[in-house]
Amino acid sequence: MIYRYAFGQPYDTDAVVLDVPPSEGAVPHLDVAVGEKGQDAVRFSFSMDPEDILFGLGETVRGQNKRGHRYVSWASDIPNHTENLQSLYAAHNLLLVFGKNRLFGLYLDDPGRVTWDLGWTRRDRAEIVSENGDLNLYILEGDSLKAIAREFRQLTGRSYIPPRWAFGYIQSRWGYAGEAEAREVIREHRKRHIPLDGLCLDIDYMDDFKNFTWREKAFPNLQGFLEDARKDHVHLIPIIDAGIRQEEGYAAYDSGKARQAFCTREGGEDFLAAVWPGMCCFPDFMNRDARQWFGEQYRPLLEAGFEGFWNDMNEPALFYTEQSLDRAFATAREQMKHPEDYEGMWFLNAAFNGMANNPEDYRSFWHRMDDGRRVRHDRVHNLYGAFMTRATAEGFRAFDPDRRFLLFSRSSFIGAHRNGGVWMGDNHSWWSHLKLAFHMLPNLNLCGFLFCGCDLGGFGCDTTEDLLERFLQLGVFLPLMRNHSALHTREQEIYRFSIWETMRDTLTVRYALIPYLYSEFVKAAEEDGMLFRPLAFDYPEDARAVHTEDQLMLGGECMIAPVFDQNAAGRYVYLPEDMLLLRFRSAEDYDEIPLEQGDHYVELQLGEFPLFVKRHAFIPLSPGAEYTDALDDAAFRTPGWDAEGAKYELLREDREMLGIEWKKE
Ligand code: GLC
């Protein structure tokens, strides 16, 4: 059952696809207090029993269970994902409350700042505050967590499905200098039989970091390179950023300006901020015409043969504006008057650090919404990246409505899950970030983002080979399996490491699993389900399972439980039912160990990782390949325990169902 309550004048966020009539009477489950408009205007609160669990909020720090922290929905370009953070790149305003005595969901369709105090001030109380006060609140009721998750997806629409090749391994790095280097990366993978389906091109490919341009010196024969890469079964995936450099004579700027496609200051002049290309204008994605113009910019690249893109810097990230620069210098001039006052240094630091992504800057530009309203940016801030994704996807559809393209974005809002996937932004080569990514998976799925992944190996800092290997072991199960790292960090391609053969063997498991993973992914999308689920979703009666933070259900048959700690040679696992442990070293080399319900210690040396398959079920393991084009959907092995009579319906990319029966080996 879904109830809707409107507050103030809600914005059209494109998040909801169902037309839910407004409900009468008091809001169930919540206390509601309406305050002054524009100032923490609406508060929703509820009390919590000690054992209540909170799922949701998609891309956020900390655990699967969100209780015990304060989160703020405010899309932020923020590279240090430490556990004190309240915001990351996205805003996903869904919360499911699950306890002995209650079960409900709440969704705030609100594009402005929302604060979620989930037992932070008081462990037994949750308080959610909308700054705007212009929103639709949805209350979801159902008889299980799974039922509410499904209901929410029906409310917000079907998840995006990429082409199957996007499930292949993708190599990426900020800093590939040009075609020669990029070709070498592909060659090194192929030479060593390390599977590969995609190569991302970061901002280095652009002419002066300008969107929709090409640095001809570095990439002298783009068409030839693209074609050769495709012959090698590799897709090139360019990055596109949100900002468009203000420069007359630059086609994207000129055409955007002519179409009045950019955000403006209150008086109507262009809003400008510095990002990678220098001073930029920002497409007004809230506006239909601007979206159409932006979508058209991809066309020459699509015509050239590109089939996948990643959209970045779309919170939008602002390095500084002329105004924020002025404010910082004013503080510096003030400090120069009192050099003896060392405490002023703190203000100085804050002033310069605060130049980027400054709240005042977000209050200084305006959008023309589709409904004609002119709206100040901060009121709808969290929509910006989502609407960039929308513009891009609309551009793809206009180019070819029948083709699937790969698209993933850094910033997102619920609704964007219908148009593309997400990656989790600039993580670090830290062990804690392996776990952070794991924790985000089910909550992202809950919010509709089935196609997701993190930078394997870690983006910032120098990785180590054991960390990369453990990241890859998680990556085997992630829809987006991409190794990405930052400029000036240790080179992170698999072949750079002494244990590259171990890493290659890990990837063979991925390719053997792609038919199954893709099938489970598409089923989850089409049935409004989740690929990754907290154990509580499948075993709500099992008190031990519902509080398990470091294991996840995967698809219909499996459970995953990665190793998260450096130098660990195994881990404890709780099995909510009898399961077959598949301990993989490669697609050819794995142990099959039946384990009964209960606690187990599983030994997992560095090159080993587990997949647990429910007793009486099996998974289809394909012979694998070095790229998805060569995957064969015919000869499956069927590891399973006691699976007599079991059948798996494999959903293939061409939408054909292939019935696979269990065979005893
Ligand atoms: C941002 C992105 C990162 C990319 C870099 C350069 O930090 O999050 O993935 O490599 O910009 O484009």
pLDDT of residue 39: 66
DSSP string, 570-632: EEEEEESS-EEEEEESSSS-EEEEEE-SEEEEEE--TT-EEEEEETT-B--B----SSGGG--
Asked if the model's pLDDT at residue 36 lies above 80, the reply is: no
CATH number at residue 76: 2.60.40.1760
Alpha carbons 353 and 343: distance in angstroms, whole number = 16
Alpha carbons 578 and 276: distance in angstroms, whole number = 53
361 domain-assigned: no
266 domain-assigned: yes
pLDDT in tens, 583-606: 999 999 999 999 999 999 999 999
Residues 6+ apart with CB under 8 A from 229: 186, 199, 235, 236
Closest alpha carbon to 532 in 402, 445, 659? 445
pLDDT of residue 444: 98
pLDDT in tens, 38-70: 666 899 999 999 999 999 999 999 999 999 999
Asked if the model's pLDDT at residue 82 lies above 70, the reply is: yes
Same domain, residue pair 116 and 184: no
Same domain, residue pair 467 and 569: no
Closest alpha carbon to 112 in 369, 377, 414? 377
Closest alpha carbon to 432 in 471, 476, 483? 471
Same domain, residue pair 258 and 277: yes
Same domain, residue pair 546 and 567: yes
33 domain-assigned: yes
Residue position matching structure tokens 């007599």:
644
CA 626 to chain centre: 26
- Of 101, 132, 156, which residue sits at a domain end? 156
Which token pair is 420? Answer: 């593309």
Same domain, residue pair 494 and 579: no
360 domain-assigned: no
560 domain-assigned: yes
- Contact between 461 and 430 under an 8 Å Cβ cutoff? The reply is yes
Query: Distance, CA 320 to ligand 1 centroid (Å)?
Result: 17
Closest ligand 1 atom, CA of 172? 10
pLDDT of residue 635: 87
Closest ligand 1 atom, CA of 426? 8
- Of 488, 514, 540, which residue sits at a domain end? 514
User: In whole numbers, what is the pLDDT of the chain averaged over residues?
Assistant: 97
Asked if the model's pLDDT at residue 184 lies above 90, the reply is: yes
Same domain, residue pair 305 and 432: yes
Number of domains in the chain: 4
Residue, of 140 and 345, whose pLDDT is higher: 140
Q: What is the mean pLDDT of residues 377-383?
A: 98
Overall pTM surpassing 0.75 (yes/no): yes
Alpha carbons 654 and 518: distance in angstroms, whole number = 12
Q: What is the mean pLDDT of residues 176-197?
A: 97
Same domain, residue pair 525 and 627: yes
| Contact 466 CB / ligand 1 (< 6 Å) | no
Alpha carbons 501 and 485: distance in angstroms, whole number = 20
- Contact between 408 and 420 under an 8 Å Cβ cutoff? The reply is yes
| Contact 426 CB / ligand 1 (< 6 Å) | yes
Query: Distance, CA 70 to ligand 1 centroid (Å)?
Result: 27
CATH number at residue 545: 2.60.40.4040
Domain housing 189: 164-319+367-514
| Contact 564 CB / ligand 1 (< 6 Å) | no
pLDDT of residue 202: 98
362 domain-assigned: no
Which token pair is 419? Answer: 């148009």
Asked if the model's pLDDT at residue 71 lies above 80, the reply is: yes
Query: Distance, CA 455 to ligand 1 centroid (Å)?
Result: 11
- Contact between 452 and 487 under an 8 Å Cβ cutoff? The reply is no
Q: What is the mean pLDDT of residues 238-267?
A: 98
Q: What is the mean pLDDT of residues 313-338?
A: 95
Residue nearest to atom 5 of ligand 1 (CA): 174
CATH number at residue 290: 3.20.20.80
Same domain, residue pair 204 and 339: no
pLDDT in tens, 202-242: 999 999 999 999 999 999 999 999 999 999 999 999 999 99
- Contact between 657 and 650 under an 8 Å Cβ cutoff? The reply is yes
- Of 473, 496, 514, which residue sits at a domain end? 514
Same domain, residue pair 450 and 341: no
| Contact 410 CB / ligand 1 (< 6 Å) | yes
578 domain-assigned: yes
| Contact 174 CB / ligand 1 (< 6 Å) | yes
Alpha carbons 620 and 631: distance in angstroms, whole number = 13
Query: Distance, CA 392 to ligand 1 centroid (Å)?
Result: 18
Q: Is 381 exposed, middle or buried (0-12, 13-18, 19+ CB in 10 A)?
A: buried
pLDDT in tens, 420-463: 999 999 999 999 999 999 999 999 999 999 999 999 999 999 99
- Contact between 404 and 161 under an 8 Å Cβ cutoff? The reply is yes
Q: How many CA atoms lie within 13 A of 148 on its CB side?
A: 25
Closest alpha carbon to 625 in 514, 474, 518, 517? 514
Q: 448 — alpha (psi -120 to 50), left (phi > 0) or beta?
A: left
Same domain, residue pair 238 and 100: no
Residue nearest to atom 7 of ligand 1 (CA): 426
| Contact 202 CB / ligand 1 (< 6 Å) | yes
Same domain, residue pair 9 and 144: yes
pLDDT of residue 664: 84
142 domain-assigned: yes
pLDDT in tens, 1-18: 999 999 999 999 999 999
Same domain, residue pair 116 and 70: yes
164 confidence band (pLDDT: 50, 70, 90):
very high
